[in-house]
Amino acid sequence: MLNISSNSINNRLVTTKYSAFSLNKEYKAARILAFLLFIALAGFITFLFLPWTQNIQTKGYLTSLRPDQRPQTLNSVIAGKIEKWYVREGDLIKKGDTILYISEIKDDYFDPQLLDRTQKQINAKELSVGSYLEKAKALEGQIVAMEKTRILKLDQAKNYTKQARLKVMSDSTELQAAVINFEVAEEQYKRMEEMYKDGLRPLTDLEARRLKLQETLAKRISQENKLLASRNELINAQIELGSLENQFQDKISKAESEKFATLSGMYDSEAAVTKMQNQYMNYSVRTGLYYVMAPQDGYITKAYKTGIGEIFKEGEPLLSIMPANYEIAAELYIDPVDLPLVHMGTHVRLLFDGWPAIVFSGWPNSSFGTYGGKVVAIDNVISNNNKYRVLVVPDKQRVRLPQFLQWMTDSGEEEDKEWPGALRPGAGVKGFALLKDVKLGYELWRQLNGFPPEFYEDKPVDNPKGKSEKSEKEAKEDEVKQKPALKSFK
């Protein structure tokens, strides 16, 4: 119906009574669907051009930055038996406070007067050392006296030897004189005998010359005997000199041997004294270990040995202590493939277990309930979970607000929030290491192709009040740190 006339009959007809009217119905669903598809396509294309911050998502736990501020187990240095507890779980203790008292379980230390008896043994050994020392001094005096006596005796023997040598020389000279006299007397006798034969001399003169010859011969023989006796005396004097030298050397060597044996005994006694003094100090220190003291300020978290009379061995844990003062840090674990993308000073956004948050990993500025941090340590060795551990500490910095919220502040930025004060080591934490800002379409394309994210580079921003800009030297150092990671992905 063309509805040309101004007189409409639509209100007069009941169209439901005629089936032809139902076939002439107008359908608008196709146009609505096309419109919706157009809106969706436009929205998807617009969505692809939205900015997106590439990130590395990690998980980990809260810990403390310094090792001495982490939860520790208090072990026993000696084996013992629990006698008395002075604390309970949850108590705040100060450094040096008494935690519990233990007693001995080894029979070597049961003696209540162990220290006194050990001290008496040390005193006795020290007296023994003094006796050895005095004996060594006495032997040293004997050696000095024998040295002096040996010098005198040797000088005396040398004088006897010299006298004997001079006597030998004297007797030898006299023997030469007797030999000459004998030879002269013999010549005279021969001449007298020839003269007697010629009749020039009487027999009495010949007999007198013969008598004179016998006398000179007797003197020569006597002088030879004296010379031999003198030589024997010289030999005896030399033998006596060597004998005296050997006798005194033997006596001195024996005295020195006894002295050295005494000194050896003294040194053994000194070693025994030192050993006993060491043992005494060990006993003294062990006695001080009966009271288990708190190594630092902290809280008693859990007792592993309980009750009275419970026995434990050396090195067994007794209880655990959480230090009262600690610098909180996040311990995150990253995959090896992401390790080149993280370096010292990388900014990280953190989400703590127990704190409500609305997180958009690609839009960290639009997230709620996340906190800032920076990487301060990266392990060089992979952990047991086949990941690398990094430590993150709080990092307050100015965060740029989303565009629709920038009207709330003059600079479009706000100060990052401090980490909650109620955080405790051991709580779970999730981290987002922020990298480069890219378009969302590029990020989807990268994810579909399995390409690694691009390395993060600091962009110059307006400095907030009170903060100085980076120097050119620091900027160059950051650029040098970033180049190896960039090369690994090109």
- Rounded to the nearest 10°, the torsion over CA 7, 9, 11, 14 is 180
Sequence-separated (6 or more) residues with CB below 8 Å from residue 219: 178, 181, 182
Domain boundary among 266, 298, 323: 323
Determine, yes or no, domain membership for 188. yes
The DSSP letter of residue 368 is: B
Is the same domain home to 142 and 260? Answer: yes
Domain boundary among 301, 323, 345: 323
Question: What is the mean pLDDT of the segment spanning 396-415?
Answer: 49
Question: What is the mean pLDDT of the segment spanning 387-415?
Answer: 62
Find which of 1-10, 123-132, 343-352 is predicted with most confidence, using mean pLDDT: 123-132
pLDDT at 487 over 90: no
Is the same domain home to 189 and 300? Answer: no
Is the same domain home to 296 and 333? Answer: no
Question: What is the mean pLDDT of the segment spanning 464-471?
Answer: 45
Round the CA-based radius of gyration of the chain to a whole number and report it.
59
pLDDT at 308 over 60: yes
The domain that contains 77 carries what CATH number? 2.40.50.100
Is the same domain home to 171 and 145? Answer: yes
More confident residue, 197 or 462: 197
pLDDT for 402 equals: 46
Domain that holds residue 92: 72-104+290-323
Is the same domain home to 167 and 215? Answer: yes
pLDDT at 101 over 90: yes
For 209, phi and psi rounded to 5 degrees? -70, -35
The domain that contains 438 carries what CATH number? 2.40.30.170
CA distances from 437 to 182, 363, 406, 442, 448 (A): 141, 10, 19, 10, 18
pLDDT for 274 equals: 92
More confident residue, 27 or 64: 64
Distance CA(226)–CA(66), nearest Å, equals 105
pLDDT for 299 equals: 92
Q: Return the minimum-mean-pLDDT range out of 76-90, 228-242, 308-322, 367-381.
A: 367-381
Is the same domain home to 250 and 126? Answer: yes
Determine, yes or no, domain membership for 5. no
pLDDT tens per residue across span 17-47: 666 666 655 556 667 778 888 888 888 777 7
Q: Return the minimum-mean-pLDDT range out of 184-188, 264-268, 416-420, 425-429.
A: 416-420
Provide the number of structural domains found in the chain.
3
Buried b (16+ CB within 10 A) or exposed e, 145-179: ebeeebeebeeebeebbeebbebbeebbebbeebe
Is the same domain home to 362 and 249? Answer: no
User: Closest by alpha carbon to 416, among 370, 461, 460?
Assistant: 370
Question: What is the mean pLDDT of the segment spanning 411-438?
Answer: 74
pLDDT for 14 equals: 66
Band of pLDDT at residue 234, cut at 50, 70 and 90: confident
The domain that contains 135 carries what CATH number? 1.10.287.620
Q: How many CB atoms lie within 10 A of CB 211?
A: 12
pLDDT for 20 equals: 65
Determine, yes or no, domain membership for 37. no
Determine, yes or no, domain membership for 17. no
Band of pLDDT at residue 92, cut at 50, 70 and 90: very high
Sequence-separated (6 or more) residues with CB below 8 Å from residue 318: 74, 75, 76, 99, 100, 292, 303, 304, 305, 312
Distance CA(370)–CA(349), nearest Å, equals 6
Is the same domain home to 309 and 384? Answer: no
More confident residue, 199 or 366: 199
Is the same domain home to 302 and 208? Answer: no
pLDDT for 26 equals: 55
pLDDT for 164 equals: 85
Is the same domain home to 62 and 128? Answer: no
Is the same domain home to 354 and 485? Answer: yes
Domain boundary among 288, 308, 340: 288
pLDDT for 473 equals: 52
Q: How many CB atoms lie within 10 A of CB 430?
A: 19
Bridge partners (DSSP) of residue 414 are 399
How high is the mean pLDDT of the chain?
Answer: 79
pLDDT for 365 equals: 55
Distance CA(364)–CA(75), nearest Å, equals 45
Long-range CB contacts for residues 186-191, cutoff 8 Å, separation at least 24: 186/213, 186/216, 188/212, 188/213, 189/213
Q: Specify the pairing of strand 98-103 against strand 347-352.
A: unpaired
Band of pLDDT at residue 436, cut at 50, 70 and 90: low
Is the same domain home to 65 and 79? Answer: no
Determine, yes or no, domain membership for 98. yes
Determine, yes or no, domain membership for 353. yes
For 51, phi and psi rounded to 5 degrees? -70, 145
Give the tokens for residue 100: 């519990």
Taking the CA atoms of 335, 336, 340 and 345 in sequence, report the sign of the dihedral they define: positive
Determine, yes or no, domain membership for 22. no
Determine, yes or no, domain membership for 387. yes
